[in-house]
Structure 1
């Protein structure tokens, strides 16, 4: 149908919405195309400011890991996506937030930290 091949896909993906990872969409995109584009990588500010149980639980873990890497929670949240192979699709005009996202590209999360962050996003801790 298309004369130009599809080379990526964007899905909502962040630590407060891991559905695309959990249901295999991210794996499919990576196998079929290239790198998925992660829309709303900071969950529209909920990662930093959300008051619901999930946001608070994830933020606590991000704060713990951020100290280890001498950075902030936004950079760690985006570094988590980058390690997954996704590219963050940002929609902010906030210069500090953009700087935090850029900083994420220089953070190399180890596998244990990546998994602990992911685990914090699950309702049922496995």
Structure 2
């Protein structure tokens, strides 16, 4: 699979990441087939979080892949922490204990990347810096990033944290593209012009932070998948038309739409269906034309000024 260097690091990662949030929905044999297929497809970047399945997803993954030193070196593991018991917690104590739990469940000595999951308004960035230093110096975490953070939140962290922020995981799909739409509507008096995220897309590009789009097929906040939905007839008709043009599935085109953006994003899949996973991976080989990209964007109901 085509790769990119994540953030300012030298870490080469596949352009499609495999999300493991739902792996606890699979039987053991199914989980084994799923992770093996991912590796065969070149999708060896696995995204986790300590809250997925209350930790069970990491354990199931480790068992499914038959974790050992040899297989560990063939994959890239990312996990997230900072959400607990109905609140957010970026304290040094919680970050350190969370990583220890993640490593134990994944049966590994280190994470390639650790993300802070959702912004904690009570964050003491000095504590985060201390936690990151300890994790890096101990070899438990090699790279660091954030999730769902805006530019000023990242800049506040970077004032104290010496490690570069290599990734920011953000919601993005054809139907949830406000970070793109706002850029089209500069100085316009309409709803689309409202800057809801501090121009996070431009900020990440300027600072070489890799955006990892989550829920690339969802509309709303986990309201459903737009592919095949009767709520988006025009969009599905256009995606199907473009899919026929390239001889691929609608899933491949929806993923290729994100990969076409020059920000060099790394979308995170959510499917546990092996065929859909393969379709997601095929998007790495598709380069949509500018016309295709804009036609799909407008078909989702987005209006250009």
Specify if TM > 0.5: yes
Distance 1:123 1:117, change over 3 A: closer
In the other structure, the counterpart of 1:48 is 227
TM-score of the aligned structures, taking structure 1 as reference length? 0.87
For residues 25-82 of structure 1, give each alpha carbon's deviation from its aligned partner in whole angstroms, at most 9, with x where no partner exists. 2222122233311111111652223221xx2221111001111101111100100100
CA distance in 2, matches of 1:20, 1:49: 24
RMSD over aligned CA atoms reads: 1.8
Instruction: Indicate which of 136, 155, 165 corresponds to 1:6.
Output: 165
Matched residue, 1:67:
244
Deviating above 6 A after TM superposition, structure 1's stretches of 4 or more consecutive aligned residues are none
User: What is the rounded CA distance, in whole Å, between the counterparts of 2:276 and 2:289 in structure 1?
Assistant: 23
Computing the radius of gyration from Cα coordinates, the structure with the larger value is: 2
Distance between the aligned counterparts of 1:59 and 1:125, measured in 2?
Answer: 19
Structure 2 SS opposite 1:100: helix
The structure carrying a bigger strand percent of its residues is 2
CA distance in 2, matches of 1:48, 1:112: 20
- 3-state SS, counterpart of residue 87 of structure 1: coil
Where do 5+ consecutive residues of structure 2 fail to align? Answer: 1-159, 183-198
Highest RCO, 1 vs 2 (Cα 8 Å, sep ≥ 6): 1
> Is the contact made by 1:11 and 1:20 (CA closer than 8 Å) also made in structure 2?
no
2 CA distance for matches of 1:20 and 1:92?
Answer: 24
Task: Give distance in 1, aligned partners of 2:270 and 2:290.
Answer: 28
Task: For residues 11-36 of structure 1, give each alpha carbon's deviation from its aligned partner in whole angstroms, at most 9, with x where no partner exists.
Answer: 11001111122234222212223331
SS in 2 for 1:8: strand
**Alpha-carbon distance in structure 2 between the residues aligned to 1:9 and 1:2:** 15
Matched, 1:90 2:269: yes
* Match of residue 288, structure 2, among 92, 109, 115: 109
